[in-house]
Structure 1
Amino acid sequence: MNKAITDGLQLMPPAFAQGLDVWSSGDGTPGSDTYDGAANAALVAGDAHFAGCLELQKTASTQHLRYMGETPILPGCYLRVTARVKAMSGALPTVRISGWAGASNDSHVSGVVEVGPGVTLSAYGEVVEVQAIVGTGTRTGVDMPWGIAAAYGHLGLDLTGPNGGVIRVDDLIIEDVTSVFLRDMLSVVDVVDYGAVGNGSTDCHAAFEAADDAADGRRILVPEGEFLINSTLSLNHDVVFEGTLSMPDDAMLLLTKSYNYPTYAAAFDDEALAFKKAFQALLNSVDHESLDLGGRSITLHEPIDMQAAVPNRTSYATRRYIRNGQFTAQAGAPWDHDVVTSQASYSSSDNRKLTDVNNIAAIPVGALVEGAGVGREVYVREKNTGAGELTLSQPLFDAEGRQNFTFTQFKYMLDFSGFSAIKKFGISGVEFQCNGEASALRLAPAGSVFVLHDCYFTKPKARAITSIGNGCQGMLVDNCQFLSDEDAEDVSDRVSIALNANSNDVKLRHNRATRFLHWAVMAGSNHTITGNHFFQGDSVAGGVRTAGIVVTDTYASHTISENYIDNCFVEWTNEYDATPDFSTGFSFSAMSITDNVFLSGDVANWFSYIVIKPYGSGHFLNGVSVTGNKFRSINGTIDRAERVDTSFADLDFTRSRDVFFDGNTFHNVDTKSRNPLRVEHDEGSAASTWSVDTDGSLPFSGHSRGVDSVVMEGSMRNSGGSVVYPTPYVRTNQGSNNDRIDLVWPEAVRGTVRVLIRMDR
C-alpha cells in the first residue's frame, strides 16, 4: 500500500530552492519563525553532492528545521522521513529527524515521541543519511508512534550538540512505507496500526474502534500481546486474535461478525472467562440468537454464576440458545456441597415459608431443604435475611412447629438461579461432563419455556437439572441422555436425581436415563412424558427398586405414554400438600398411563410398577386411565402391577370414580388387574345367594362398587334340575375387603355366569 500512489496523497515537502518561508526554525506551526532571510541560513545552488541544498549554521542548543505544511498522518499509514546532510566546518553536531504532532483541532498531541534516533557527524564533506519512521502504531521499526489522535505533523530535523558548526542539508524526502509493516493490507486491519499497545496496561478501546471503522469489510487483526479494553467494545468486522484481551467484568465484547465461542476463547486465553464474556454478549446483542461453542470443550474449575456474568441483566425474555459443545468439571474444592443445619418454624397457614430461621445468613438461595415432614426436591426459592424468612419452592406435608432442617447447596456448572426470571432460553447439543464432581444446571426461580435438546448430562454429582421455583414452566427436555455417576451403586445407596419440576406443562420426550435414585420428581400439572427409557436396576437378587418418576400433585393431568420403564416405577403422591388429609378438590385425578413397557428383573415379589402413596387420609381415585401397557417381570414373579403404599394412609375406595384399567398385558404378574373386571363364576350347587369373588383383581385392591352386567352362560337349573329363567339382583362391597359381590336369586339355582364388576362409579 502506498497512499501517495493509491490516493494521490501529497507527502513530499517543497525543495528548499522554492523558498525558505515555509521552513520554520521553531515547531513548524503557523506564526513560528522561518528561515526566510535568516542570518544563519542560505541556499546553495551548486554542491558536489546535492543538486541544490540549504546551508545552515547551528546557533541554538536544539536547532529546528521544520516544514510548516501539514503532512497527513493517517491510521495504518507509516511515513519514512529522510535527510541527507554533511558537515562543512566548525563543531560537528548530532542530527535527528523530528516533528510536531498535531491533532485534528490543531492542538498539540502531547505524550508522544517526536524525535528519531540521532546521528553524530564525524567528518567534513561526508554525506550522512538520517532517517526515522512516523505513524499511528507502536511497531518494531517505528521511531515516532503518534497514535490515532495525531492527524498531521510538521516534519523536519533537529541539530543538537555544540554550536557554531555549518552543515548542508539536501531536500527532505517523505515517503509512504506502510507496506513494510502490514502483512496483507487487502484483507487485514491491524489494531496496532491504530494505536493499540499490547502491554496490558494501556487502554486500547479507541484504537480498536478506529481499526473497526477503517476495516471496511476487511478482517481486524489483534497481534500478539495483552490489550486492555476498559469499557464495552463492539466490533462490526471479523476479528482474528493472536493476542489476548483483558476487560473489567462489566465491560462487554460484542463481536457482531465473529460471534462464536472459539473467537472468545482466543480473545481471553481462559476458557471459563471466554464463555462468560460470550454469554454476556449473547444477552446484550440483537445480532445473534445463539452462542455456538464450536464443538469446544470448556473446562470449569468452579460453578459459573450466569447472572453475575451479565451484571446489567437481572432477567431475560428473548429467545437465546447455547449450542454445540461440552462443559467439563475439573475436580476441586469449589464443587463441594455447602451444608447448613438450622432451626426454623413452619405453619401450614403460610405453607411456603420457614420463619424465625436461625443463622439465616449462612443459608443460600437454591439450597435443598430436608427434614421431618419435608417432601422430595424442596428448595429455598427466596431469602429475607432481615425478617428471618425463607420462601420455599413447595409446601411441607408434616412439619408444623419448630424443628431442625438441613440445607444443602449443590454446586452447578451453569447456575441461572441469580436471575429473577429467564424465558425462552435453550441449550442444544451440549454435554455436561460432571465427572461426579458437579451438578449440571440450575434454573432461574421464574420463567418459562427453558429448552434442552440433544444434551448429555454425564455423571452429575447430585442433580442434572434443578428447578428451585417456577423457572421450569413449559420446560422442554427432548432427546437427552442422563448418565448416572451411581451406575455401580446398589439401588438403596443411590442419592442422585436427574431432574425436577415445580410448575406446569413440562414435556419430557425421547430421553434416556440410567440408574439414578429417581429420574424425575414432577410437581405441577399437564405434563407430557412420552417415549423415554429410564432404568434403575442393580444386581441384587430380590432387591428393592425406587421410583423412576415421582408425581407429587393429586390433580396431575399428566400423560405418561410409550415409555420404557425399566426396573423402576411410577409413584404418585401428595407430598407437597401442607394439609395432606383430603378436604376438597379432585384428589388423585386426571392421570393417563398408556402404552408403556414396564419391565423388572430380580425384584422382591411385592414390587409394583404403579404405586400411589397418599400422605393423608380420605383420598380417592378420580379419573385415572391405565391402558395398553405391557407389564413383565423376569427372574421371578411379582404379586401385582399396581398397589397403594399405605405408609401414611390408604385410599378411600368408596369414592373411586372413572377408573379405566384395561387392555394391559401381564407376564409373571400373579394378579392381572382390570376395571371393569370380567369374572366367570360357576355355582355347582343350587343356592339363592352366590358369592362372586374378585380375588384382589380390581386395581389397587379396590372395592367392588358396581356391576355393569351379569350374563348367564348356559341354562340355570333349580334344585330339582329344571331349567328356570330367574333374574338376580346384586349386592356390592361384600366381604372383609369389600371386593366381593353377591348375586341374589329369587330361588336357589345353579349354573355359570359372566359378571362385569367395577371398582368405580
Structure 2
Amino acid sequence: MIAGVRGEDLGRVARGAARGKGKMNKAITDGLVLMPTPFVDGLDVWSSEDGTAGSDTYDGAANAAYVPADSDFGGCLELLKTQGTQRLRYMGQTPILPGCYLRITARVKAISGNLPTVRIAGFAATAGGGHVSGLSEVGGDVTLQTYGSVVEVSAIVGSGARGGVDMVWGATPAYGHFGLDLTGPNGGVVRVDDLRIEDITGAFHRDMMNWVDVRDFGAVGDGSTDCAAAFEAADAAADGKRVLVPEGVYFLGSSVTFENPVEFEGTLSMGTGSILSLTKNFDLPTYINAFGNEELAFKKAFQSLLNNADHESLDMGGRRITITEPIDLQGAVPNRGSYAQRRHIANGQFYVSGDTAWEPDVVTSQATYATSNGRTLRNVANVANIQVGSLVTGNGVGREVYVRAVDVPTQEVTLSQPLYDAAGTQNYTFTRFKYILDFSGFSKVSAFSILDVELQCNSKASGILLSPSGVAFHFRDSFITRPKHRGITSCGEGCQGLLVDRCQFITHEGGVPSQDRISVAINCNANDFKLRNNRASQLRHFAVIGGENAMVTGNHFFQGDDETDGVRTAGIVFAQGFTSATFDGNYVDNAFLEWSNEYDNEPDFSGGFSFGSLSITDNVFLSGDVAPWFGYIVIKPHGSGHFITGLNVTGNKFRSINGTIDRVDRVDTSFSDLDMSKGKNILFAGNTFHNVVTAAHNPLRVAHDQNTHQSTWTVRTAGKLPFGGRARGVDGLVPTSKLKNTANVTVYDMPNVNLEQGSDGSEVDLRWGNSYAGDMTVIVRMD
C-alpha cells in the first residue's frame, strides 16, 4: 500500500462504520493519516492518470520536476501542461466514510506560458478498487489570471448532499484518489504546493450533537431516489443517537427498520408493501411527521404494528386524525391475511370528513335459499358485486344478518346467521355500510383491542367492522359518536368472546321517532359476548345478540323520543331461543328487551330447549309517555309450538311515568304465540312495579274471597301470571279465615285442585266435598 493509510486500517474503519460504531464527526478520522505525502518524498506516488495502482506517475516524467526552493512554497511540483486535462492524483487511498466531510486544498501559481484553469478533482472507488460512476468528481474551476500570484483552490467531498459540498459521493465509495486538474490551453508552466486533505466534518455537525443525518449516508430528498440503504446505514451508525431526516421527500423502495429514535423534518414516500418500523418511537405522531398525511400515517403505523414483535400497541398520542374514506386495515397490511397476537390501538380520535366515499354500496340480487343449508344463498345473481360485510335484507331475514363470505365461481353467499322464513327463490338486498376501521379483509383477527379511542362518525360513517373469524376482540373506554348506520358490526364469528366495556355510543338520530331510527350500536353472532358498563343513546337497537352465553351487565341505554304515547324499540335483542344469557344490573330507559328465535332456519319447534336459559336480574326499567300496551320484556316466537324452558326475572324495578302501562311482560304474536301448556323453570319474583296495571308473578299468590257457599271455588289469576300463562300448578293452599258450611258451622276440610280452568287455562278450581264459604290464599304457578 503506497498511501499513508494502511489497508488493514481502512478495512477496520469501514467495518466499524458498518456496525454503527463510528461517530459522525471528526472522531471518524482520528488516528488516520489523511494528508498526502509531500512532493519532496518523491513523485512515484503522484499519478498523471486516475491515481489507481499501475497508472503512470510523474516520477521521471519530462513535463514534471520537483523544485526544492520556491519563494512562496518552499519545495513544490512544477508542471508543464501538455494535455487537454492535465491530471494530478495522489495514489494513496483516502477513506470516504459516512458522515465525514473532507476538504482538499491546493495552492497554485502560473510561472510562464498560457494561463490554465485549475480545479480540485478525484476518483471515487469501491472497496475493491472499481470506479463508482455517476458521481461528481470535480470541484469548481478557477482560471489563473497573472504570473506569480498564488491562487488557492479547494473542494469539499462527503457522503451527504449538504450545502457547500462540491462532490456528493453517498455511501457507495470506500475511498478516493484526490488531486487537481489543469484545463484550458496547453503550454503553460505552473507550480503546485503540497496538497492538503483535512477533516472538516465539524463544520457540518459538532461532536456534541446527539444525532446523525441521513444525508451523510447518501440520502437524497428528491422524492424519487431510493434512500432505503442510506436510512439503514444511518441507523446502523447512530448507536443510540437520534437519526435526523431533514427537509425533503425521501423515497424508500423497500422496508426500513430503525433501531434508534428518529426525528422527521422531511417526509417519506413508500409503497404499500414496504414497512416502516420505528422501534424506539413507535407512535402515531411520529408516523404523521414521517408521512405528512394522517390517513397514510395511520395505515403505515398499523402495518408496522402487525409486522414487528417489538410493538404491542399503537399510541395515537392523543391526536385527532381526519379521514376521508374507510380504512381497509387488511389492505394496509397486504402481507397478512390473518392475525392472532395481542395488539391494540389507544389514545386518539378518528374524525370523518368527505361525503361520497361513505355512501353505502347497495346490490339487489335474486338468490335461492334452502333450510337444509341454513347459512348459504345459492345461485346468487350478480354475485361478484356483493361484498363481504353487507347487511342482508329480504322476506324471512332476521335482523343483523350479514354476508360472511362470497364464492364467485359457485355463485354462493355464506351468511352470518340462518334465515327464519326464506325457503325458495326471491330477491335480496345487500347493503354494504362504510366503516372507519374495516377488519373484514382479514380472514381472522384475535386478541385485538381498541381503548381510549373516539370514532367521530359525523353522521357519515359507521364505526368498526370485525373480521369474519376471531376471538377476544376488546373495545374499551371508547366512544362511537354519531354513527350513520352501525357502531360495531360482526359479519361472521369474529365476535367470539367479544368484550365491550365502559364505552359510549352516541346517536345522530336524537330527534327521530324511535321506530324510524336505523342505527344499531352492536351485533354479535358468536358465543361468550360480554357487554358491560356502557352507555348508548337513542339508537334503534343497542345490541342484537345471536350467540349463547352472553353477559349484559351494568349498561345504560335510552331510546325515548318526544312522541305522545310513543312506541319504543328493543334495546337488547336476544335472537336465539336458547340463549343461556345473563342480563343484570342494567338501566333500561324507554326501551325493552326482546327475545326471539329469528336465527332459526326451521322456526317451528321440533325439539331442543325452545326459549330457555335467560336470567334478567336487578335491572332498572323506566319508561315515560309510552303507549299502554308497551312492555319491558317481550318474547317474539317465529314458528309454532315454542314455550319457555328457563327464565329468571328477579329483583327488577319496573316504573312508568307520564302514564301507566298495562303490564311489563308480553308476547309479540306477529308470527306465532307461545304454547302456555308447556314450560318449566320460570321464576318471576321479587320485582317492584310502579304505574303498572297488572304486575306479573310466578309463583303467584292469589288471595281468594269466597263469600257464598259453593262446592267449587274458582280462583282467578287475573292475567298476573307472566306472558298470560296458564295455571299449571299449585304450590300451596292456606285458609286465611274459618271455613263454614251452610249451617254456619266451622269445618276443617281440604279441597282437591283442578288446574288450567277457564277459557284460557288461567284459573284454578278448588273442589270441596260440600259447599263452603271463606278465604283461601293459593300459590299458583304457570310452570
Alignment of 1:621-700 (within 5 A): 621-700=644-723
Query: One-letter code of the match for 1:127?
Result: V
User: 2:16 corresponds to which residue?
Assistant: none
SS state at 1:669 partner:
coil
Q: In the TM superposition, what whole-angstrom CA distance separates every residue of 1:585-621 from its partner, at most 9, and x where no partner exists?
A: 0000000000000000000000000000001110000
| CA RMSD between the two structures | 1.0
SS in 2 for 1:334: helix
Structure 2 equivalent of residue 8 of structure 1? 31
Alpha-carbon distance change, 480 to 635 in structure 1, aligned in 2, over 3 angstroms: same
Q: Which amino acid aligns with 2:186?
A: N
Equivalent position of 1:118 in the other structure = 141
- For residue 246 of structure 2, the aligned residue among 204, 207, 223 is 223
Structure 2 residue 506 is the aligned partner of structure 1 residue 487 = no
- Partner of residue 435, structure 1: 458
Counterparts of residues 458-477 of structure 1 (less than 5 Å): 458-477=481-500
Q: CA deviation at 1:183?
A: 6.2
CA distance in 2 between partners of 1:659 and 1:571 (Å): 17
SS in 2 for 1:444: coil
| Aligned mates of 1:106, 1:295 — CA distance in 2 | 53
Kept in 2, the 8 Å contact 1:523–1:551? The answer is yes
Which letter maps to 1:556?
T
Asked whether the equivalents of residues 25 and 205 of structure 2 are also in contact (C-alpha less than 8 Å), the reply is no
2:76 to 34, 53, 56: 53
Give 1:497-516 correspondences, 5 Å limit. Answer: 497-516=520-539
Q: CA deviation at 1:50?
A: 1.0
Given that 2:26 and 2:200 are in contact with CA atoms closer than 8 Å, whether structure 1 keeps it comes out as no
Which residue in the other structure is 1:422 paired with? 445
Letter in 1 for 2:95: P
Compared CA separation, residues 62 and 4, structure 1 to 2 (3 A): farther
Residue matched to 1:65: 88
Counterpart of 2:588 in structure 1 is 565
Contact 2:284 2:298 in 1 (8 A): yes
Q: Is the 8 A contact 2:29 2:199 kept in 1?
A: no
Q: CA deviation at 1:363?
A: 1.4
Provide the C-alpha distance between the structure 2 equivalents of 1:91 and 1:594, rounded to a whole number of angstroms: 108
- Residue deviations 1:321-380, cap 9 Å, x none? 011001111022110111111111111111111111111122111111101111000111
Amino acid at match of 1:649: S
Report the Cα offset of residue 4 of structure 1.
6.6
Alignment match, 1:391: 414
For 1:356 and 1:5, how far apart are their aligned partners in 2?
72
Give, in angstroms, the shift of residue 148 of structure 1: 0.5
Report what 1:543 is aligned to. Answer: 566
Q: Which moved more, 1:159-168 or 1:175-184?
A: 175-184
1:365 is aligned to: 388
Whether the 8 Å contact between 2:320 and 2:351 is mirrored in structure 1 is yes
Q: Which residue identity is paired with 1:584?
A: G
TM-fit CA distance, 1:40: 1.1
Structure 2: any 5+ residue segments left out of the alignment?
Answer: 1-23
Structure 2 matches for 1:735-754, cutoff 5 A? 735-754=758-777
Structure 2 counterparts to residues 574-613 of structure 1, below 5 A: 574-613=597-636
The correspondence of residues 162-177 of structure 1 with structure 2, limited to 5 A, is: 162-177=185-200
Q: What CA distance in whole angstroms lies between the structure 2 residues aligned with 1:328 and 1:636?
A: 42
**1:714 and 1:240 mapped to 2: Cα distance?**
91
The secondary structure found in structure 2 opposite 1:731 is strand
Task: Report 1:172-187 matches (<5 A).
Answer: 172-182=195-205, 186-187=209-210
Distance 1:705 1:546 in 2: 32
Please state how far the C-alpha of 1:182 moved relative to its aligned partner.
Answer: 2.3
TM-fit CA distance, 1:2: 5.5
1:492 is displaced (CA, Å) by 2.1
CA distance 1:755–1:184, shift in 2 (3 Å)? farther
State whether structure 2 residue 170 is matched by structure 1 residue 147: yes
Residue 384 of structure 1 deviates from its aligned partner by 1.1
Aligned length: 760
Deviates more, 1:741-750 or 1:628-637: 741-750
> CA distance change for structure 1 residues 282 and 3 in 2, over 3 Å: closer, same or farther?
same
Q: Structure 1: which amino acid aligns with 2:608?
A: G
Cα 1:730–1:184 shift into 2, 3 Å: farther
| 1:263 paired to 2:253 | no
- Deviation per CA, 1:112-163: give whole Å up to 9, x if none: 1111111010100111010100011111111001111111111110101111
Residue 274 of structure 1 is aligned with which of 282, 297, 303?
A: 297
Q: Does 1:728 align with 2:745?
A: no
- Give 1:181 deviation, angstroms: 1.6
**Partner letter of residue 36 of structure 1?**
D
- Give the match for residue 336 of structure 2: 313
Does 1:403 pair with 2:426?
Answer: yes
- What is the rounded CA distance, in whole Å, between the counterparts of 1:482 and 1:23 in structure 2? 80
**Structure-2 separation of matches of 1:275 and 1:551:** 36
Q: Displacement of 1:682 after TM fit?
A: 1.1
How far off its partner does 1:319 sit? 0.4
TM-score by length of 1: 0.99
Choose from 533, 540, 547 the match for 1:517: 540
Distance 1:651 1:48 in 2: 120
Residue 351 (structure 1) aligns with:
374
CA contact (8 A) 2:120 2:153 kept: yes
Distance 2:761 2:69 in 1: 133
Counterpart selection for 1:17 from 29, 40, 50: 40
Alignment counterpart, residue 244 of structure 1, candidates 259, 267, 275:
267
Q: Is the 8 A contact 1:581 1:615 kept in 2?
A: yes
1:208 aligns to what SS in structure 2? helix
Instruction: Provide the C-alpha distance between the structure 2 equivalents of 1:492 and 1:376, rounded to a whole number of angstroms.
Output: 14
Contact 2:25 2:206 in 1 (8 A): no
* Partner SS, residue 467 of structure 2: coil
> Is the contact made by 1:3 and 1:9 (CA closer than 8 Å) also made in structure 2?
no
Structure 1, residues 159-178: CA drift from partner, whole Å, max 9, x if none? 01111100111111111111
> Which of 729, 732, 740 is the matching residue for 1:709?
732
Give the partner amino acid of 1:15: P
Counterpart-to-counterpart distance in 2, 1:586 and 1:285: 48
The one-letter code sitting in structure 2 at the alignment partner of 1:131 is: S
Give the corresponding residue for 2:55: 32
Give the whole-Å Cα distance in 2 for the aligned partners of 1:4 and 1:509: 61
The answer to whether the 8 Å contact 1:4/1:11 transfers is no
Q: 1:4–1:10: 8 Å Cα contact kept in structure 2?
A: no
1:448 — aligned with what? 471
Once the two structures are TM-superposed, the CA of residue 714 in structure 1 deviates from its matched residue by 2.6
How far does residue 254 in structure 1 lie from its aligned partner after superposition?
1.1
Superposed CA offset, 1:370-417 (max 9, x none): 011110001111111111111111111111111111111100111000
| 1:426-449, Cα deviation, whole Å (9 max, x unpaired) | 101100000001011100000110
Kindly provide the amino acid, as one letter, of the partner of residue 250 in structure 1: G
Displacement after TM superposition at 1:14 (Å): 1.3
Structure 2: distance between partners of 1:179 and 1:644:
86
Partner of 1:81: 104
Q: Whole-Å Cα distance in 1 between the matches of residues 773 and 27 of structure 2?
A: 121
Q: TM-score, normalised by structure 2?
A: 0.96
Aligned counterpart for 2:352 among listed residues 312, 329, 340: 329
**Structure 1 residue corresponding to 2:579, chosen from 553, 556, 564:** 556
CA deviation map 1:437-485 (0-9, x unaligned) = 1011100000110000011000001001000000000000000000011
Equivalents in 1 of 2:634, 2:559: separation in Å? 16
Query: d(CA) in 1 for partners of 2:659 and 2:444?
Result: 49
Q: Deviations over 1:248-270 (max 9, x none)?
A: 11011111112111111111111
Question: Which structure 1 segments of 5+ residues have no match?
Answer: none
- Gap change, CA 1:5 and 1:738, over 3 Å in 2: closer
Which of 189, 204, 214 is the matching residue for 2:212?
189
The answer to whether the 8 Å contact 1:293/1:323 transfers is yes
